[in-house]
Amino acid sequence: MSDLFTQIKEQVQQHQPTIVFPEGTDERILKAAVRLTEERVVKPILIGAPEAIKEVATKEGIELSSDITIENPADYAEFDAMVEAFVARRKGKETEESARKVLLDVNYFGTMLVYMDKAEGLVSGAAHSTGDTVRPALQIIKTQPGIKRTSGVFVMVKDDQKFVFGDCAINIAPNAEELSEIAIATAETAKLFDIDPKVAMLSFSTLGSASSQETQKVSEATKIAQAARPDLVIDGEFQFDAAFVPAVAQKKAPNSPLQGQANVFIFPSLESGNLGYKIAQRLGGYDAIGPILQGLNKPVNDLSRGCDADDVFKLSLITAMQAINQRVTV
């Protein structure tokens, strides 16, 4: 785990992207912002009234560096330009009057900073729901071309083992086309963590050993993903053991390119994905890093409300790494 984040930190330090934190009055965010600044990996922007942020910092014994920028929606110098850009982006769904109210919300304000290139990514969720974090991103930043919706994955780490599980956070019951999008996006996310993706589309059937609407959906999703990205190793539908255990793969799927060596696992529903990552975490002893949101034009990531400052620090590093990668691909 520490080795993984040491590698990420070394990559990020070369670029030091600017990341916005809408929850500037949360002590966990402040502690992480200080650490990110001290270790020179990210340039943080905190959102909130400066007096309120400094009051929390003083109370918690946190010394804020002058390198940490604080922006207050109530007196932001470019607020008029932000309102204009927001109204244009929403294409008639907001008036100037309603926009001025909406943009006082810290998550909308922070997301607009990313949209207007004042920051390269956003981390929120320590004191807000997933919907509060994701909704502004979907309305303003939106998904990448060819991707209809965002999805959420976890990187599962134990010793020198790394796997990616998706979707474990956003889409309750994706159809075949959506599942194929999730598979492709998750394979690309895996590459950020130096994983050569071998993608297994999971089900309770292996290559037709059982037949139902559920298994047929996964089989169809596999075909769509394979046709869209023939350069990726994607196969399914697979039971987990056939995707993960070489001896089982030899019996159930001897001609599959996975050969029981899958490292990216795509679950057929949010229910199964959420259960799967938590079983691996609690019974298997894996550290679960995420959820990492993927498919957006710019990175926005969602913290758990039960997070600590170290969780904020780590997710900020991942967000920074996504931002750097998108610099390269744009």
- pLDDT tens-place string over residues 156-175: 999 889 999 999 989 999 99
| Max Cα distance, the chain (Å) | 66
Quick one: 216 exposed, middle or buried, by C-beta within 10 A (0-12, 13-18, 19+)?
middle
pLDDT reported for residue 3: 81
Phi-psi region for residue 101, left (φ > 0), alpha (ψ -120 to 50) or beta?
Answer: alpha
Structure tokens that stand for 305 in this block: 């409300």
Q: Is 297 helix (H, G, I), strand (E, B) or coil?
A: coil
Nearest CA to 43 out of 73, 21, 26 is that of 21
DSSP for 101-142, please give it. HHTTSHHHHHHHHHHTTS-SEEEE-SSS-HHHHHHHIIIII-
Tell me how far apart the alpha carbons of residues 309 and 78 are, in angstroms, rounded to a whole number: 30
Output the pTM of the full model.
0.88
Q: How many residues does the chain have?
A: 330
CB-based contact 109:6 (threshold 8 Å): no
Q: How far is CA 234 from the centre of its chain?
A: 21
Cα 206 to chain centroid, rounded: 29
| Residue 75: DSSP 8-state | G
- DSSP reduced 3-state for 306: coil
Amino acid letter, 194: D
pLDDT band at 39 (very low <50, low <70, confident <90, very high): very high
Tens digit of pLDDT for each residue in 250-274? 999 999 999 999 999 999 999 999 9
pLDDT bracket for residue 147 (50, 70, 90): confident
What average pLDDT is seen over the chain? 94
Question: Distance of CA 212 to CAs 172, 208, 215, 263, Å?
Answer: 19, 9, 5, 26
69 phi and psi, to 5 degrees?
A: -85, 140
Per-residue pLDDT band at 4 (split at 50, 70, 90): confident
Q: What is the pLDDT of residues 220-234, one digit of tens each?
A: 999 999 999 999 999
DSSP label at residue 73: G
